[in-house]
Amino acid sequence: MEAIDVLTGRVSGSALVDPAPDDLELHTMLSAAVRAPDHGRLRPWRFIVLRGAARKRLGRLMGQTYQRRHPDATPAQVEKEASKPLRAPLVVVVAAKINQQSNIPAIEQILSAGAAAENFMVAAFALGFGCAWKTGDAAYDPEIKSAVGLTPADAIVAFLYLGTNKNPPAPPAALALYDHVVQWPDDESP
Ligand SMILES: Cc1cc2nc3c(=O)[nH]c(=O)nc-3n(C[C@H](O)[C@H](O)[C@H](O)COP(=O)(O)O)c2cc1C
């Protein structure tokens, strides 16, 4: 696929099933991710790869932290939260490890991690895999951050769900592109 077709045609995956990307395909996606623009070459990105039972570990933690945040939650609600990482055969947590000593603002380090997540998704799409970007309250929970090696000042920017699309994804919906664009006139008028 031409790069421009990948960029203009990317859509999220929805029902994601086996096979997941193998290690070589994952390596390709990670290689695309770390080509994200990175102010000050701080390399703030971290990728935590969860396959198989590792997803259950995250799920258990997501259930427990959900219960902590929602003391009145029903067992069904906790179970629903805990089952989220099992919705795809591979989950990659994308994070920004913030360099507090740098004069590059934290927001720019987080943006770089977001760009890495997008590069990863685009590479997944180009290789024919489905990929969906999720966050939710779990992404901001300090216990979950700690479990993946982050401090509260760091940021989880994405839980990327990966697998093979069960059904071919629909092409992206048409967008009123120029509702989002302003072009200043090509003159020096105030
Ligand atoms: C930072 C970020 C967080 C997101 N979190 C969620 C989420 O928690 N749940 C969800 O359904 N979609 C979430 N999305 C949106 C989807 O990943 C997806 O982009 C959106 O549904 C549009 O679909 P498309 O990518 O096929 O255009 C998030 C997107 C971004 C950029």
25-52 pLDDT per residue, tens: 999 999 999 999 999 999 999 999 999 9
Task: Establish whether residue 8 lines the binding site of ligand 1, counting it when its CB lies within 6 angstroms of any ligand atom.
Answer: no
Is residue 78 within 8 A of residue 61, CB to CB? The reply is no
Strands 16-17 and 155-165: antiparallel
CA distance 150 to 130: 27
pLDDT of 189 above 90: no
| Architecture of domain 3-57+88-167 in this structure | 3-Layer(aba) Sandwich (3.40)
Question: Can you read off the two tokens belonging to residue 24?
Answer: 């070589």
pLDDT of residue 190: 80
Extents of the domains making up the chain = 3-57+88-167
pLDDT of residue 6: 97
Distance from Cα 149 to the centre of ligand 1, integer Å: 24
59-72 pLDDT per residue, tens: 999 999 999 999 99
Residue with CA closest to ligand 1 atom 29: 133
Is residue 157 within 8 A of residue 96, CB to CB? The reply is yes
